[in-house]
Amino acid sequence: MDVNEKKRGRPAGKVSQLSADGILETAKYLMKEEGKVPSVRSLATQLSVDPMAIYHYFKNKDSLLEALTTSLVVEIYVPQAGSDWQDELKRLCISYIELLREYSGLLHTMLSMTSHGPAQIFSERYKIIVSPLTLPKKAEKDGLDLLADYLHGFAFALSCCHDQSRVKTEMMEGPLALICRSLASFRT
How many percent of the chain have pLDDT more than 70? 91
Provide the residue type at 184 as one letter. Answer: A
Sign for the CA dihedral angle at 96, 100, 106, 108 comes to: positive
CATH of 20-58, one of 1.20.1500, 1.20.120, 1.10.8, 1.10.10: 1.10.10
Distance, in Å, from the CA atom of 79 to the CA atom of 130, rounded to the nearest integer, reads 10
Q: Read off the pLDDT of each residue in 50-78 and give the average, rounded to a whole number.
A: 94
Determine contact, residues 75/127, Cβ cutoff 8 Å: no
pLDDT tens digits for 145-188? 999 999 999 999 888 887 877 888 899 999 999 999 999 999 86
Determine contact, residues 97/50, Cβ cutoff 8 Å: no
Distance, in Å, from the CA atom of 136 to the CA atom of 141, rounded to the nearest integer, reads 9
Q: pTM for this structure?
A: 0.85
Q: Where are the domains of the chain?
A: 20-58, 72-184
Q: Read off the pLDDT of each residue in 100-123 and give the average, rounded to a whole number.
A: 90
pLDDT tens digits for 26-39? 999 999 998 888 99
143 pLDDT exceeds 60? yes
